[in-house]
């Protein structure tokens, strides 16, 4: 049977890289093996562990929670055609802002390094010692946080630095002012969704679900960004740099796959467990997870796009109107608008 128990050192262990990952002289995390294949940081044992836990869950007869891009009803905004129009007119600030904001938000992910999960073994009747849930504080959260915001011990660039490298490859440094970054892109705190479990455990579940949905949204963003970077009609005077930027996005995408996999596994396990309710008695995990997940999916897939699109559209309109023939640009931009789904 596959191994199911790991130490923190195991889950933070690196591959033996034959060549480091660098861009413009900046050393980044991860590296390449002897065949030239990119290997994500801290995945020597992390990937085998997650696969083993997923197989264990399947043997117990439980499916994985649905957590992929099919959950998202609205595409990126501005759309590909709108973004292409802006870039062809020499108006790169919207794309620059998007790459910058992504890098800043990635850096915030380092909070997972210093934010231990509450003891789920205390509120779950099942033995979690050989599950992903039982390893949240044994390296899973720390590894995720280091992937996003870096490990201060090595000072290697993580996803934040990688997104800034993507931006700088196609635009150069300091092409535009640093934009205002949203304080949070998670679902705002609202009424409790799982009042029969301790508040601290519910808050951690909410965090994990928000992070998973942000990772799912990122998958759509990867496709969009790669399409823009690899469009032969864009960045014509720096196609080589645009292709290098696209390769960097591909590596970030490879890194992020483990995040979706372990978070999906943890939440699926928790759905399968029997919980000890604070008011006494047993509580099926599906009664805890399903209402919370439905609410988080609705926020990220439906509610948030409806709130954010008018704000983004207004900001873009203001930039367009500051250009010569600005009103014509606004009309051309709006003609490419795709409606939000019902």
pLDDT digits (tens, 9 = 90+) for 7-30: 999 999 999 999 999 988 889 999
Q: Which domain holds residue 125?
A: 8-68+91-335
Lookup: tokens for 291: 């209402």
Eight-state DSSP code of residue 137: G
% pLDDT > 90, the chain:
89
* Domain assignment present for 81: no
Sequence-separated (6 or more) residues with CB below 8 Å from residue 235: 87, 170, 229, 241, 242
Find out whether 203 and 55 touch, Cβ atoms under 8 Å: no
- 342 belongs to a structural domain: no
Contact assessment for residue 132 and residue 266, using Cβ atoms and an 8 Å cutoff: yes
Q: Is residue 83 part of a domain?
A: no
Specify the number of domains making up the chain: 1
- Tell me the backbone φ, ψ of residue 186, rounded to 5 degrees: -85, 165
Tell if the pTM clears 0.75, that is, is over it. yes
Each residue's pLDDT tens digit, 36-85:
999 999 999 999 999 999 999 999 999 999 999 999 988 899 999 999 99
Query: Does some domain include residue 79?
Result: no
d(CA 139, CA 10): 8
Kindly state whether residue 73 falls inside one of the protein's structural domains.
Answer: no
For tokens 């799982």, name the residue: 194
What six digits make up the tokens of 110? 């380092």
Domain presence at residue 19: yes
User: CB burial class (10 A; 0-12, 13-18, 19+) of residue 8?
Assistant: middle
Contact indicator for 206, 292 with CB cutoff of 8 Å: yes
* Domain membership flag for residue 306: yes
Spacing of C-alpha 318 from chain mean position: 29
pLDDT at 1: 58
For the CA atoms of 20, 110, 119, 46, what is the dihedral angle to 10 degrees? Answer: -20
Alpha helices in the chain (DSSP H): 8-11, 46-59, 80-88, 93-108, 140-149, 159-171, 199-229, 239-272, 285-298, 304-321, 326-335
Q: Would you state the structure tokens that stand for residue 120, as one six-digit string?
A: 């789920």
Is the bond preceding 78 in cis, omega lying within 30 degrees of 0?
Answer: yes
- d(C-alpha 320, C-alpha 325), whole Å: 9
CA–CA distance, 72 with 220 (Å, rounded to integer): 9
Full pLDDT tens readout for the chain, 342 residues:
589 999 999 999 999 999 999 988 889 999 999 999 999 999 999 999 999 999 999 999 999 999 999 999 888 999 999 999 999 999 999 999 999 999 999 999 999 999 999 999 999 999 999 999 999 999 999 999 999 999 989 989 999 999 999 999 999 888 999 998 887 777 777 788 999 999 999 999 999 999 999 999 999 999 999 999 999 999 999 999 999 999 999 999 999 999 999 999 999 999 999 999 999 889 999 999 999 999 999 999 999 999 999 999 999 999 999 999 999 999 999 999 999 887
Domain membership flag for residue 303: yes
Are residues 60 and 315 in contact, defined by beta-carbon separation less than 8 angstroms? no
């Amino acid at each position: 049977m596959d191994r199911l128990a790991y130490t923190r050192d195991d889950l933070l262990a690196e591959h033996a890289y034959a060549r480091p990952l660098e861009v413009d002289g900046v050393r980044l995390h991860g590296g390449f093996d002897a065949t030239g294949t990119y290997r994500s940081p801290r995945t020597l044992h992390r990937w085998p562990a997650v696969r083993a836990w997923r197989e264990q869950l399947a043997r117990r007869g439980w499916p994985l929670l649905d957590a992929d891009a099919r959950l998202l009803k609205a595409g990126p905004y501005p759309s590909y055609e709108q973004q292409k129009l802006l870039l062809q007119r020499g108006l790169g600030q919207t794309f620059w802002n998007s790459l910058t904001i992504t890098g800043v938000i990635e850096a915030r992910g380092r909070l997972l390094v210093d934010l231990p999960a509450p003891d789920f073994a205390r509120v779950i009747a099942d033995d979690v010692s050989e599950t992903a849930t039982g390893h949240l504080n044994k390296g899973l959260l720390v590894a995720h946080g280091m992937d996003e915001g870096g490990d201060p011990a090595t000072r290697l660039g993580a996803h934040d630095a990688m997104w800034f490298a993507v931006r700088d490859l196609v635009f150069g440094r300091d092409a535009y002012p640093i934009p205002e970054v949203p304080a949070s892109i998670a679902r705002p705190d609202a009424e409790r969704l799982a009042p029969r479990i301790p508040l601290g455990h519910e808050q951690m579940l909410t965090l994990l679900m928000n992070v998973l949905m942000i990772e799912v949204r990122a998958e759509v963003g990867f496709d969009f960004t790669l399409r823009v970077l690899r469009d032969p009609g864009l960045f014509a005077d720096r196609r080589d740099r645009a292709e290098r930027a696209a390769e960097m996005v591909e590596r970030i995408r490879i890194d992020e796959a483990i995040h979706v996999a372990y978070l999906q596994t943890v939440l699926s396990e928790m759905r399968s467990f029997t919980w000890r309710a604070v008011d006494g008695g047993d509580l099926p995990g599906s009664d805890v997870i399903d209402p919370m997940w439905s609410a988080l999916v609705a926020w990220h897939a439906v509610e948030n796009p409806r709130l954010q699109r008018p704000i983004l559209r207004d900001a873009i309109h203001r930039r367009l109107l500051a250009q010569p023939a600005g009103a014509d640009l606004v009309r051309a931009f709006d003609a490419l608008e795709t409606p939000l789904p019902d």
